[in-house]
Structure 1
């Protein structure tokens, strides 16, 4: 069952502002993760850990596709636990001075052997919190 996780929210902000939040290193720190080595360029790899300073989960991603103000696609992996990768795609569309943000996380089954913290349920909850609370709250306040 290779059904992607799809999460989407309407955010009361112009598409350019949402794109900036997704792609500007300083903006990301305010709502997402502190990603020191992020560069908006296809082929660039970036790394980060979960917030809180425990550094248990090393995330590594590689940018696969960029369409400014429309799409950011990158891999998502945990190199300390597995050589498997998944794909995360952020898609933006404008609707009446609001932005629909659609996140798709594909191939989540690649992490099925890593435990409950890497389950479909866990990722779905995480993405809903990241988009529906963190990003939406950051941009609408």
Structure 2
């Protein structure tokens, strides 16, 4: 699954909102232990009742270019493991931003439904990201 957008801000600004835990919480969700360093293990805390957790590990961290991490949803039955990749590319006076999430088994009905739900969710999330970027 791929979801992309263009932002008029610089790649450095987009990288900052992608990797600063305080800014990340404002458009995505709260993280515990996050650092944009390869090998870092961290948790995203889902704002649900009761709170859920997404276990992650940073696989790639190339400042102002790419951030990739595993996304392991412990609540899913069976637990689901995906890879989320954020690619940042300068384009004109702004930034082309691409989210790729892989690891879905689309032959599995539940996985296909999860993929479709995640795609809708990511589109909403990128709107929140845009709103935050517009305030910086």
| Same fold (TM > 0.5) | yes
Are residues 1:138 and 2:136 paired? no
Q: What secondary structure sits across from 1:22 in the alignment?
A: helix
TM-score (ref. length: structure 2): 0.87
RMSD, aligned CA: 2.0
Corresponding residue number in structure 2 for 1:88: 84
1:110-129 CA distance string (max 9 Å, x none) = 8x57578x612101101111
Q: How far does residue 45 in structure 1 lie from its aligned partner after superposition?
A: 1.0
Structure 2 CA distance for aligned equivalents of residues 88 and 125 of structure 1? 15
Q: How far does residue 50 in structure 1 lie from its aligned partner after superposition?
A: 2.0
Q: How far does residue 80 in structure 1 lie from its aligned partner after superposition?
A: 4.0
Q: How far does residue 92 in structure 1 lie from its aligned partner after superposition?
A: 0.4
Q: 1:115 to 1:54 in 2, by over 3 A?
A: farther
Q: Answer 1 or 2: which has greater strand percent.
A: 2
Q: 1:113 to 1:76 in 2, by over 3 A?
A: farther
Are residues 1:78 and 2:73 paired? yes
Corresponding residue number in structure 1 for 2:124: 129
Are residues 1:100 and 2:102 paired? no
Q: How far does residue 109 in structure 1 lie from its aligned partner after superposition?
A: 2.1
Structure 2 CA distance for aligned equivalents of residues 122 and 50 of structure 1? 15
Q: Kindly indicate whether the alpha-carbon contact (under 8 Å) linking 1:75 and 1:87 is maintained by their aligned counterparts in 2.
A: yes
Are residues 1:6 and 2:2 paired? yes
Instruction: Give unpaired runs (5+ residues) of structure 1.
Output: none
Q: How far does residue 49 in structure 1 lie from its aligned partner after superposition?
A: 2.3
TM-score (ref. length: structure 1): 0.84
Q: Which has the higher contact order (CA 8 A, sep 6+)?
A: 1
Corresponding residue number in structure 1 for 2:63: 68
Size of the alignment, in residue pairs? Answer: 133
Instruction: Give unpaired runs (5+ residues) of structure 2.
Output: none
Q: How far does residue 84 in structure 1 lie from its aligned partner after superposition?
A: 4.1
